[in-house]
Homo-oligomer: A and B are copies of this chain.
Amino acid sequence: MSYQSRKQIILKILDEKGDVDVKELAQVLETSEITVRRDLGTMAADGLLYRTHGGAMKLSLVNQPISFVQKSAVNADKKDHICRIAAAQIQDGDVIFMDCGSTVFRMCGFIRDKRIKVITNSLPVVHELLNSAVSINLIGGEVDAERQAVHGSMSIEHIRRYQADKAFLGVGGISVEKGLSAVSEKEAEMTLSMAANAQVTYLLCDSSKLGKDKYLTFAPLTLVNVLITDEQSSEIIQAFTNVGVKVLR
């Protein structure tokens, strides 16, 4: 197998899995570890990947602060369950908002082949979808390094210029009593703006956040058309359904 053939395979695996190791690639490519090391070295020099000890990572995953990567990986199974359901609500041709939450980010892996337009303020979402079938519009404004997202009054104005079919949003906390709550006023504003400019608003929320409130209550449950969750308790689901929120799980 030639270097170019191996290169294509390596890039494909990196795109799918985000990172690889030398031993695994040597096995998959049916070649020696030193050949794989040379290939990875060449590809790193060409700016195609990031070389780590024992393997390599996709460039787009490297420049994210640990905090976002770790946060996104917490309850990954639950989040992926939610994201599969969310992705199934999206048809080719849709225009969708995606906010900067760690659950919403994981939707990227499930929508990359869809011919849709994504409007987002999240830098990780942009990076993840850059080389995909998705067309991207990025909301402008002040960049928040910690959250890797754009916020502020300029962002709010920008969002108002768009009209989306669907919005996929996360929150810090949600309960029947208090409605939606957040830990950041900026994020709350973004959530409100995206919801206001979409036909249908989906809330992606894993079970760890249901029934729990954060310091800033910023919207009633009526902001949400559909709640997508992994929560299995009938009582909790019923409580939301009783106040008019459709629940998918």
Contacts and interface: CB of A to CB of B under 8 A. Distances in A.
Contact of A139 (B50, B57, B63, B140): B140
Interface string A208-242: 00000000000000000000000000000000000
B52 A2 contact: yes
Contact of A137 (B8, B48, B53, B143): B143
How many monomers of this chain does the complex have?
2
A50 B140 contact: no
Interface residues of A, number: 46
Interface stretch (A65-73, A175-183, A188-196): A65-73
A249 interface: no
Given A4-B62, A5-B52, A150 B130 contact: no
A68 B161 CA distance: 30
B137 A138 contact: no
B140 A141 contact: yes
B53 A2 contact: yes
Contact of A57 (B4, B21, B53, B142): B4
B150 A142 contact: no
A55 interface: yes
A134 to B, nearest CB: 10
A131 B139 CA distance: 20
A151 to B, nearest CB: 10
Contacts of A2: 19, 21, 52-55, 57
Given A2-B54, A47-B69, A130-B63, A141 B141 contact: no
Given A47-B67, A140-B155, 12 more contacts: A2-B53, A5-B52, A65-B130, A123-B126, A130-B143, A136-B143, A137-B141, A138-B141, A138-B142, A138-B143, A140-B154, A154-B158
17 contacts: A2-B19, A2-B21, A2-B55, A4-B19, A4-B52, A4-B57, A4-B61, A4-B62, A5-B52, A47-B70, A123-B123, A135-B143, A137-B154, A138-B142, A140-B140, A140-B150, A154-B158
Interface of A: 2-5, 8, 19, 21, 46-48, 50, 52-55, 57, 61-63, 65, 67-70, 73, 123, 126-127, 130-131, 135-143, 145, 148, 150, 154-155, 158, 161
